[in-house]
Amino acid sequence: MDEDAFWALIEEFRPAESDPDADHLAAALTARLAAGPVSLVTEFAEHLAWALYRLDLQEYDRGLSGDAFLYTRAAVVADGRDVYRRVLRNPASFTPYATDLLWAESLLYVPDRAYKALTGQEWDRGTRYSYESYSNRAGWGRQAMTDDELVEAVRTRVADRDLPPPATPEDVAAIEREVRHPMPQLLRRLYLEVANGGFGVWQCLSLTDTGNWYSDEQDMIEAYRRFSSKDGTDAPAPAGIIPLMDRGCCMWTMIDFSTAEGRIWDWDPNDCCVLVPTTLSFARWLTGWLEGWIVPGPYSPFRIHADGCPDRQPQAAS
């Protein structure tokens, strides 16, 4: 079962939006999986756990208990792929699901019930990703910091780096004219109050040529022109998606200037879907760097893959 097949099952049996009925959904899914083979049950369990794990983020916290948060995430999954992807892109879309929570709880037990119906045995199972609330350690950290706190924390972290002086408002205006979008406010503050590049897990690009080597491109404008060009083998980046940090091995952290929160995108030619959005805002990305769970390598747990991309499916538990 690939991810398309998983969501096809959810879509086939999901309840009508106006009248949620988890018993119908769970019973229909259980009956389908109980027809076998066992591998279908385990693959469904992997995809369900992965989908729930990806919603286990601090951005979705609504002051719910652990169980209520889990059932809310299950309700999002039960409402189908389109809703799920909308919530991944916009945490505000999660809020309406934080009411009438218990209707989706039984979705969690579908693999166990199908396995027992198929084998006559209880399933002492495990999945690569846990769906239990707060299992996604990268998604939960210290209490979310304000912009002021993040700027100060970044300033402290890079105090021992030999960074260029802060950029000028004219430098910011130049990149904004080039990309035709305003720079997200938090990123603007870092350039104007901390340094003209060099902060981050590795080093974010400078807005102008500062003489520092942060990438093969001398500054953000040059990098943006390369990524927005139609030359080369890869499709150009969409409008507003700006290269921010060269992570080596052709991997780049990108940032969406068209979003106020600075949605992070990932450019990774080692993945079949080269450029995709992630679940990270710029503030969350900074927090991950400061806390140690954003590292220079691949961003696999955070990528929102396009339909039909083989690299989006989780690996099965051994």
Half-sphere exposure of 275 (CA within 13 A, CB side): 19
In a domain, 53, yes or no: yes
Same domain, 161 and 291: yes
Same domain, 208 and 116: no
Q: Looking at 120, 139, 158, which one is the last position of a domain?
A: 139
Hey, what's the torsion of the CAs at 156, 293, 247, 259, to 10 degrees? -80
Same domain, 132 and 252: no
Domain that holds residue 54: 3-139
In a domain, 52, yes or no: yes
- Contact criterion met (CB below 8 Å) for 64 and 131: no
Same domain, 218 and 69: no
- Contact criterion met (CB below 8 Å) for 111 and 44: yes
In a domain, 317, yes or no: no
Please name the amino acid found at residue 132: E
Same domain, 115 and 169: no
Spatial separation of the C-alpha atoms in residues 98 and 195, rounded to whole Å: 41
**DSSP assigned state of 278:** B
Half-sphere exposure of 279 (CA within 13 A, CB side): 29
Same domain, 156 and 265: yes
Spatial separation of the C-alpha atoms in residues 170 and 191, rounded to whole Å: 11
In a domain, 318, yes or no: no
Residues 6+ apart with CB under 8 A from 262: 184, 186, 187, 255, 256, 281, 282, 283
Q: Looking at 139, 155, 175, which one is the last position of a domain?
A: 139
Q: Tell me what pLDDT residue 234 has.
A: 67
Q: Tell me what pLDDT residue 171 has.
A: 97
Spatial separation of the C-alpha atoms in residues 55 and 68, rounded to whole Å: 13
Residues 6+ apart with CB under 8 A from 100: 20
Same domain, 103 and 162: no
Q: What is the CATH number of the domain that holds 295?
A: 3.40.1580.10
Residues with pLDDT less than 50, the chain: 18, 233, 315-318
Same domain, 272 and 229: yes
Same domain, 168 and 302: yes
**Tens of pLDDT along 167-220?**
999 999 999 999 999 999 999 999 999 999 999 989 999 999 998 888 888 899
Spatial separation of the C-alpha atoms in residues 85 and 98, rounded to whole Å: 17
- Contact criterion met (CB below 8 Å) for 110 and 29: yes
Q: Looking at 105, 139, 173, which one is the last position of a domain?
A: 139
Coil vs helix vs strand at 266:
strand
Element (DSSP H or E) covering residue 71: helix 66-78
Same domain, 118 and 158: no
Same domain, 187 and 87: no
The domain tally of the chain equals 2
In a domain, 30, yes or no: yes
In a domain, 50, yes or no: yes
Same domain, 132 and 162: no
Distances (CA, A) of 27 to 15, 111, 231, 275, 283: 11, 11, 52, 38, 41
Q: Tell me what pLDDT residue 165 has.
A: 96
Spatial separation of the C-alpha atoms in residues 78 and 56, rounded to whole Å: 16
Q: Tell me what pLDDT residue 316 has.
A: 42
Q: Could you tell me the sign of the dihedral formed by the alpha carbons of 18, 22, 27, 30, in that order?
A: positive
Q: Tell me what pLDDT residue 100 has.
A: 61
